[in-house]
Amino acid sequence: MKYRIGASVVDTERAAKSWPERRDFNGKNFVGRSSCDQWTYETLYRSRRGRYYIVREIHREGAAPDVQFVSLKEAVRWLALNEYPYPHDLGKFVELMSE
């Protein structure tokens, strides 16, 4: 899927890597760890040029996807929250983000 972010166009099908948001069951519904919502699904992507962006698909009538670039620090935070291993290009930010 292609999305416009400012002056850039990103294509999720051509992304170098993607990570879907993990979902946890709260006893009633599956809720996204990052979105904290049962109706919103986030996926983190790394473009072929090494930029990270998040696509938020909102499953409510009339809602359009929200797509935005995120900083490297934000990508580390997102991956940590969703319990994914860090790609090598984010290594220098891992120590800054963990306590």
pLDDT tens readout for residues 66-80: 999 999 999 999 999
Q: Mean of the pLDDT values across residues 20-33?
A: 96
Question: Residue 72 is encoded by which pair of tokens?
Answer: 């490297």
For residues 20 and 40, the answer to whether their CB atoms sit within 8 Å is no
* Per-residue confidence (pLDDT) for residue 96, from 0 to 100: 67
Helix (H, G, I), strand (E, B) or coil at 57: strand
Q: Mean of the pLDDT values across residues 3-27?
A: 96
State the pTM of this model: 0.89
Question: Residue 70 is encoded by which pair of tokens?
Answer: 């995120």
Q: To 5 degrees, how large is the angle CA 79–CA 47–CA 22?
A: 30
* Per-residue confidence (pLDDT) for residue 98, from 0 to 100: 63
pLDDT over 70 at 65, yes or no: yes
